[in-house]
């Protein structure tokens, strides 16, 4: 076996994992969420997030090793999230990853956070190439053509809010705390999609936009303060699904691709899963990660790290975290 330790601290989850890179088998992963810390502020506060990572990462690593039969000396390489994310948060994980690799004299393997999300699906099933990946999270809404590991082509992205942000903002309008996506999901199950919210006009064939929808919901609530909240939630959620499906189906059709993976925090949404599953009737194979791996975790970073390690793509010890770096440029040749 080839043992990798994976570390993810790009946003508000401190996450670690032990993964057998040879057998592609997850041994254990742990996530320490900071949701309760940030909730009163209505979003993630970068400084607080970084301090919390610093506090939590060592105890989390101790627990990981205590609860598995492995020790530091069994590690063959370290995988870690290099980019993108909150810079103060990223540097905590990058610093720990570098220290571990340096002290044990083992390779350091950088992973792009979005690549991690794409490969979260592979933790439970393999997907043949090429496929299209729709990434829907708090920070991202992007559509990629994945030709093979390390070869990604950006097809479209949001021009304003991410879909997760739209869920969180609409949830706030309906009186729910951050993060609001799961609340909207639950509430919408009790309602009917009785309101027709407009679809945005967006430049670019496969681009998205969600800020107009959020404003439309806000205006509707102002004009109709007594309208049932569950119907507003169901209507908003249906519109989001319609918009995502429209662009994604168009890309699948134009590029003649028959496999789709939908990943990221919003891929936990029940309506989105139901609607995308319907694509199977059109002979599209559709893949979601297990619920456990939709939101940020280190298991997905370990999986992507194992593929990068196989290709001998290591990072030098003076590598530094990057707040942004395009996935398609990250490719295979960047180190």
Per CB under 6 A, the segment of 100-108, 161-169, 218-226, 326-334 that binds ligand KG4 is 161-169
Residue 266 CB partners (closer than 8 Å, separation 6+): 136, 137, 138, 163, 164, 167, 181, 272, 294
Q: Which residues pair with 33 in a beta bridge?
A: 13
Which of 84, 93, 107, 139 contacts ligand KG4 by CB under 6 A?
A: 139
CA angle 4, 121, 67 (to 5 degrees): 40
For Zn ion, give the closer residue by CB, 116 or 200: 116
Which of 34, 207, 295, 306 contacts ligand KG4 by CB under 6 A?
A: 295
Sign of CA dihedral 122, 128, 130, 134: negative
Which of 138, 150, 289, 305 contacts ligand KG4 by CB under 6 A?
A: 138
Tokens of 53: 């990572």
Tokens of 164: 């997760």
Which of 244, 252, 296, 321 contacts Zn ion by CB under 5 A?
A: 296
Rounded to the nearest whole angstrom, what is the least distance from the CB of residue 103 to ligand KG4 in the complex?
29
For ligand KG4, give the closer residue by CB, 193 or 264: 264
For residue 34, state whether it binds ligand KG4 (rule: CB under 6 A): no
- Residue 247-266 contact track with ligand KG4, rule CB under 6 A, x = bound: -----------------xxx
For residue 142, state whether it binds ligand KG4 (rule: CB under 6 A): no
Smallest CA-to-CA distance from 181 within 192, 170, 197 is with 170
Smallest CA-to-CA distance from 35 within 183, 202, 243, 215 is with 183
Which of 81, 89, 137, 306 contacts Zn ion by CB under 5 A?
A: 137
Residue 287 CB partners (closer than 8 Å, separation 6+): 121, 125, 127, 131, 259, 260, 261, 262
**Which chain residues interact with ligand KG4 by CB under 6 A?**
11, 137-139, 164, 167-168, 179-182, 185, 264-266, 268-269, 295-296
**Which chain residues interact with Zn ion by CB under 5 A?**
137, 296
């Amino acid at each position: 076996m080839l043992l990798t330790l994976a570390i993810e601290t790009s946003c508000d989850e401190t996450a670690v994992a032990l993964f057998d890179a040879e057998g592609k088998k997850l041994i254990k992963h742990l996530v320490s969420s900071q949701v309760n810390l940030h909730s009163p502020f209505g979003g993630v506060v970068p400084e607080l997030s970084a301090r919390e990572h610093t506090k939590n990462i060592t105890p989390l690593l101790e627990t990981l090793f205590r609860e598995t039969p492995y020790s530091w000396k069994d590690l063959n390489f370290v995988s870690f999230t290099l980019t993108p994310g909150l810079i103060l948060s990223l540097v905590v994980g990058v610093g720990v990853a570098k220290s571990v690799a340096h002290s044990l004299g083992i390779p350091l393997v950088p992973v792009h956070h979005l690549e991690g999300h794409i490969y979260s699906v592979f933790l439970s099933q393999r997907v043949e190439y090429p496929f299209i990946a729709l990434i829907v999270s708090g920070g991202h809404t992007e559509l990629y053509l994945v030709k093979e590991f390390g070869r990604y082509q950006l097809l479209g992205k949001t021009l304003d809010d991410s879909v997760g942000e739209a869920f969180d903002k609409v949830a706030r309008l309906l009186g729910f705390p951050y993060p609001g996506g799961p609340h909207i999901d639950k509430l919408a199950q009790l309602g009917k999609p009785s309101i027709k919210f407009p679809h945005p006009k967006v430049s670019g064939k496969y681009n998205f936009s969600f800020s107009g929808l959020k404003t439309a919901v806000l205006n509707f609530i102002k004009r109709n303060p007594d309208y049932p909240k569950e119907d507003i939630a169901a209507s908003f959620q249906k519109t989001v699904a319609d918009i995502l499906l429209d662009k994604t189906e168009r890309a699948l059709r134009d590029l003649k691709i028959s496999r789709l993976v939908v990943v990221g925090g919003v891929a936990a949404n029940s309506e989105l899963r139901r609607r995308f599953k319907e694509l199977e009737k059109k002979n599209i194979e559709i893949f979601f990660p297990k619920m456990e791996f939709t939101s940020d975790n280190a298991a997905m970073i370990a999986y992507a790290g194992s593929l990068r390690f196989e290709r001998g793509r290591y990072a030098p010890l003076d590598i530094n975290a990057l707040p942004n770096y395009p996935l398609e440029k990250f490719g295979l040749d960047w180190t």
